[in-house]
A and B are shown apart, each in its own frame.
Chain A
Amino acid sequence: MRRFSWFNATALTLGFAFLYVPMIILVVYSFNESKLVTVWAGFSTQWYGELIRNEEFLNAAWVTIKVAVMSSTIATVLGTMAAYVLVRAGRFSGRTLFSGMIYAPLVMPEVITGLSLLLLFIGIGLDRGVLTIVLAHTTFSMCYVSVVVSSRLVSFDQSLEEAALDLGCSPFEAFRLVTLPIIAPAVISGWLLAFTLSLDDLVIASFTTGPSATTLPIKIFSAVRLGVSPEINALSTIMIAIVTVGVITASLVTKQAAVRQARDERMAERPA
């Protein structure tokens, strides 16, 4: 392996520092004993204890998870259907328009999406709360799901579906028994993406929420406006930990699958 020159080493250090120093500070101060965020007064886990006893935060966390699970599930179903139709329908007039319309919300400023949804909900007289946030999150996250799923479907060998039909499946059975199991990884990562997007969405949620439903990002944002408390640091640290564990597990699983696949393929080449 080549050695790092001093230039490379500096660039690397600065780059990583830029990315991670803010988070490290946040994590370190979550273990601060002092109530003042910027003054170090010794190690303590008291803020984690406070957090668990804080009903408001726990409620907000519960609402957030409920919203994320519901919206990402609905978005996955709708997004997968949209992707399937767009990839499979072949050429029809207006196809470009349709696929463009699916992807447009990806680049739409969130403020505009949020505002238009708010106007819609007021217009049809829907009480704002968990339901409206779920609908709003579904709206924008299904675009992401359909992007992820359609990129998988494009490389999906269509003759697999034809083979299923040929062997006696109805079109729905072919989808359930052949297509879905094969594209499942893409569907799952679409779901995870939608879930994460919903978890950390602040803008759209604050437009479409009502007094009965406060999500965690909204709660944190409003709490911070009254001053940063060590409790928020603790909460954020927990979130960072969850994400880190999730990412590492996911990459380990993927790597293991790749290793297994490579081994199997080597085995296949050997004459039996």
Chain B
Amino acid sequence: MAQTVFAPWEDPTEKPLIQFKNVTKRFGDFTAIDDLTQDIFEKEFFALLGPSGCGKTTMMRMLAGFEAQTEGQILIAGQDMARVPPNKRAVNMMFQSYALFPHLSVWDNIAFGLKREGKDKDKIAARVEEMLRLTRLSKFAKRKPHQISGGQRQRVALARSLAKAPKLLLLDEPLGALDKKLRQDTQFELMDIQEKTGTTFVIVTHDQEEAMTVASRVAVMDEGRIIQVSTPAQIYEAPNSVYVADFIGDVNIISGRAKPEGDKVAVRWAEHQPDIIGTTSLPFADGQEIHFAIRPEKVAISAEEPQDAANKIAGKVLDIAYLGNISTYHVELPTGHVIKAQTANTRRLSRRQITWEDPVWISWTDTAGVLLER
């Protein structure tokens, strides 16, 4: 029995929680968001990913109500948010700096939003205790923010933003200040809490690994536009452009001219070299500019010429990066291209035979790479 996959964006009857409709935001002459249209659904963990200055933070601040769009419409649960101030929105935000109130204890920080709602004391106390338990902070309730560690502060910030049970939680680079190990643990914690509370999360990050780990869908942004929105696996395996392929993970790009050959497309990329054969559903015209993108882990490397590979090119090992679990070989081709090939180190170091300056063959199947128009 197949489990239902969470994919409301594929269901045309599903109503989106957040709708950006042709939203443009300008700061003076600078266009931060450029005619952007995007739906985000309930219970999604939606990641906005991009380099700094791509407009991802502006999108989030518009959702929180700290910035107003110049043109277009933003709807949350069907309601136009244009004239709704931040304090009247069922949206809470977890700030990059955490923005914990230094003069209040952990308990009072979490209770802050609840007290503004004018709830009675018992209800507030019960909710705060619940949040403290959820984020494992019960021991630190009486401490001030400067009396706890960075990871604990991050959890207080999360507890505070979740206390009011918002429809939508915005997370601005929530794990940026944590070290790598703590960050990985916290990512899983975030996903767990998101699942438990059923809140819609929108996360802004420039860390592609973080976006891939936590998100149900990732939007890759550049210069105020969303370049691609898809599940992490789709983004990684089927990027729609060189920009996305290059931004997410490591990739080899070879540019050339297309030559359709039945259901396959050949890429003519250099004189005296065999064409690269790939498959695609996109229609390519003969002679059209084409980019072939392949992930290093899909490139095989061998000392002897492989017999039955769809694509194989001879080269020379230029560099080896040993990362413990994997090694990346930089292979220089006679044309000057450098292709990265990655292998898992299933054997101990002394047993492997390829080393610097060795002549090698790199090869891949005809479905390993992606053919891109731009």
Contacts and interface: CB of A to CB of B under 8 A. Distances in A.
Contacts of A162: 64, 66, 86, 93, 95, 99
A264 B97 contact: no
Interface stretch (B29-37, B125-133, B143-151, B248-256): B143-151
Given A264-B147, A268-B146, A272-B140, A167 B97 contact: no
Interface stretch (A34-42, A168-176, A213-221, A238-246): A168-176
A164 B66 CA distance: 12
B97 A157 contact: yes
B112 interface: yes
B96 to A, nearest CB: 8
Nearest to B111: A167
Given A178-B101, A268-B146, A268-B147, A166 B93 contact: yes
Most chain-A Cβ atoms within 10 A of its Cβ — which of B85, B86, B93?
B86
A160 interface: yes
B203 to A, nearest CB: 16
A168 B87 CA distance: 4
A272 B106 CA distance: 15
Nearest to B144: A264
A267 B64 CA distance: 35
A269 interface: yes
Contacts of B112: 164, 167, 177
Interface string B99-132: 1011100000000110011000000000000000
Contacts of A55: none
B101 A165 contact: no
Interface string A142-182: 00000000000000010110111111111001000110011
A230 to B, nearest CB: 49
B330 interface: no
Contact of B93 (A163, A267, A272): A163
Interface string A101-114: 00000000000000
B160 interface: yes
Nearest to B145: A268
A173 B101 contact: no
A91 to B, nearest CB: 10
Given A168-B87, A168-B117, A169-B87, A163 B146 contact: no
Given A167-B160, A169-B116, A267-B147, A181 B87 contact: no
B64 A261 contact: no
A234 B66 CA distance: 60
Contacts of B116: 167-169, 173
Nearest to A157: B97
Contacts of B160: 163, 167
B92 interface: yes
Interface string B141-164: 000101111001000000011001
Contacts of B146: 261, 264-265, 268
B152 A168 contact: no
B170 to A, nearest CB: 9
Contact of B87 (A170, A178, A261): A170
10 contacts: A159-B96, A160-B99, A163-B93, A166-B91, A167-B112, A168-B116, A178-B101, A264-B146, A269-B149, A272-B148
> What 6 A-B pairs have minimum CB-CB distances, sorted nearest first?
A167-B113, A168-B116, A163-B99, A159-B99, A165-B86, A264-B147
Interface of A: 157, 159-160, 162-170, 173, 177-178, 181-182, 261, 264-265, 267-269, 271-272
